[in-house]
Structure 1
Amino acid sequence: MHSEDKAWIEYREKFSEIYDESNYTSPLQSFVMRASHKLVESAYGKASHFESVLEVGAGTGEHVNFVRHAFDQYTLTDMDQKTLEVAKIKIGKRHEGRLKFETQAGNDLSYGDNTFDRLIASHVLEHIYQPHLALKEWRRVLKNGGVLSILIPTDPGLAWRLGRHLGPRKNAIAQGIAYDYVMAREHVNSCNNLIAILRHYFPGAKESWWPLPVPSIDLNLFFAFHAIVNKREE
């Protein structure tokens, strides 16, 4: 086995154990990551209500803590069962009876058409090969008028590359992770390409950036996108 393949396998095996430590341990890194979750949830406050919500690639369950709107059922999915086990422990009894945890591949969901009122993909789309097909799948499971909410990092923008060098890269290397190699395997889609795809499939969607309200990949760290699905035109 090549050393780079071994590094990748070891990283994936430890992912559920090291993800929170890598991203939420240092005060600065924790602040930035939490700001990203707040960004994508700022569009919907306590006055909003979604009956059924699906989160794709929920990982260790961090994002649900930032959801402000009401919901009847919230389903957290991830292809890694171990991360969902961590999520269950982290979330505990909050939202008791309204949360479900299910192992699902983000680009191949087992749910029927028109199932959910909102779908959230936070820090997910940059990891998926053939993202345009994943978007079609996510659109499929949303009801007419449902909301597709996506958050992506501005990788490889200037601000993102600088921030990564100052923060998570150092933390990961300290844990023995081959960070540059892993990120090359993880972030397979660039932000500018993903934005072009999103705008093509969902014209007129609401967009926001952080930390600056300027539509620039190089000056920001995160990009949020909310599209209302219209299936009546089909």
Structure 2
Amino acid sequence: MKNFYSYQWPKTVTPLTDEQKAISDDFIKYCQEVFHRQWSMLNQFGSMYLTRNMRIADGMRTLEVGAGNGGHLQYEDLTRQEYWVNDRRSSQVDLIKSRFPDVKIIQSDCQEGFAVPDGYFDRIIANNVLEHLTDLPKAVQQFERLLNGNGQLGVILPCDPGFVHRVGKYFTTERAFKKRYKQPYSWFIESEHINAPEEVLHVLLKRFKIVHRRHFPFIAPIKHINLMFGMVLEKKKSAE
């Protein structure tokens, strides 16, 4: 992947043609509808990891960035919290509105910031989001600003470019993409997966500390034998 391991942001991604943009949007929707059901164990790991390991109490405020079609919301107890979601795609926002009319919605790019006061949220969730961001440090700076002093950031990441992840992707999404569109998969995935896990950690650990971490399907924290991993992070204190 040509964008991985540069450790320089903002990253430049080759602009997509109008045809490629339409294909990209269609395939993301297709994956949400088909592969997310067929490979539900991956979605369950991410969402269940977050709900089990992040603090929750009555009256808390949660922001989920890059919420997509709202797949994670079904795992959250929305009666206990003020839940906000963010996504830049209007098609995804419309889906969330229809499925979860009581949540608050911000349609925007999470890298561009939010018109919300400092320390407003108790929890921020980024479920398979940070690998996609061209200006990752800018987004992480926003997360630090938006979280209160006792807040937590929950992150799920794919182990891409790990060996098992790449093999699994070859036999699932890559094969389906080529069959569906008769085009190479490389331009699509290079426009989507921009940051490697090590790069994400490099940026996060400048402002946050890890308080819990778990890989899937194996506990050993080795990228090449796992598909995904989750982390709960808290803001570093000034002395740390």
TM-score above 0.5: yes
Distance 1:219 1:48 in 2: 35
Query: C-alpha displacement at 1:71, in angstroms?
Result: 3.1
What is the CA deviation profile of residues 139-174 of structure 1, one whole-angstrom value per residue up to 9, with x for unaligned ones? 111111111111110100111101111222223333
Query: In the TM superposition, what is the alpha-carbon distance from 1:63 to its structure 2 partner?
Result: 1.0
> C-alpha separation between the residues in 1 aligned to 2:144 and 2:136?
12
The alignment status of 1:83 with 2:92, answered yes or no, reads yes
Q: In the aligned structure 2, how far is the partner of 1:17 from the partner of 1:134?
A: 24
Match of 2:71 among 50, 53, 62: 62
* SS of equivalent to 1:168: helix
Q: 1:162 to 1:15 in 2, by over 3 A?
A: closer
The CA deviation at 1:34 is 2.6
* Cα distance in structure 2, aligned partners of 1:142 and 1:92: 24
Please name the residue that 1:183 is paired with: 189
- For residues 145 and 171 of structure 2, what CA distance do their matches in structure 1 show? 39
Q: Deviations over 1:66-124 (max 9, x none)?
A: 235863210111011111112233x356xxx3x11220211122222111010000110
Distance (whole Å) between structure 1 residues aligned to residue 220 and residue 235 of structure 2: 25
**1:16–1:86 CA contact under 8 A, matched in 2:** no
Q: Name the CA shift for 1:185/1:204 in 2 (closer, same or farther; >3 Å).
A: closer
Q: Does 1:218 align with 2:224?
A: yes
Cα gap change, 1:68/1:218 in structure 2, threshold over 3 Å: closer, same or farther? Answer: farther
Q: Name the TM-score, length of structure 2 as normaliser.
A: 0.82
Amino acid of the residue matched to residue 23 of structure 2?
Y
Q: Deviations over 1:169-206 (max 9, x none)?
A: 22333332643211111101111221233234323432
Aligned counterpart, 1:10: 22
2:86 counterpart SS class: strand
Work out the percentage of aligned pairs sharing the same amino acid. 22
**Among candidates 38, 42, 61, match of residue 48 of structure 2:** 38
| Gap change, CA 1:180 and 1:71, over 3 Å in 2 | farther
Offset from partner CA, 1:8-34 (integer Å, 9 cap, x none) = 3113443664241353243xx233233
Equivalent pair of 1:36/1:210 in contact (CA under 8 Å) = no
Task: Report the AA paired with residue 20 of structure 1.
Answer: Q
CA contact (8 A) 2:113 2:139 kept: no
- Taking structure 1 as the reference length, what is the TM-score of the superposition? 0.84
In 1, the alpha carbon distance for the partners of 2:171 and 2:86 equals: 31
Supply the distance in 1 between the matched residues of 2:233 and 2:79 (Cα, whole angstroms).
Answer: 19
Q: Point out the more displaced range, 17-26 or 206-215.
A: 17-26
- Distance, in Å, in 2 between the alignment partners of 1:24 and 1:104 is 24
- Structure 2 stretches of 5 or more lacking a match? 1-13
Counterpart of 2:111 (choices 107, 115, 123) is: 107
Q: 1:73 to 1:4 in 2, by over 3 A?
A: closer
Q: Secondary structure at the match of 1:114?
A: coil
The residue aligned with 1:144 is 149
1:194 aligns with: 200
Higher relative contact order (CA 8 A, sep 6+): 2
Partners of 1:39 and 1:210 within 8 A in 2: no
* 3-state SS of paired residue (1:85): helix
1:127 to 1:3, Cα distance in 2 relative to 1, 3 A:
closer
CA RMSD of aligned residues (A): 2.7
> Structure 1, unaligned stretches of length 5 or more?
none
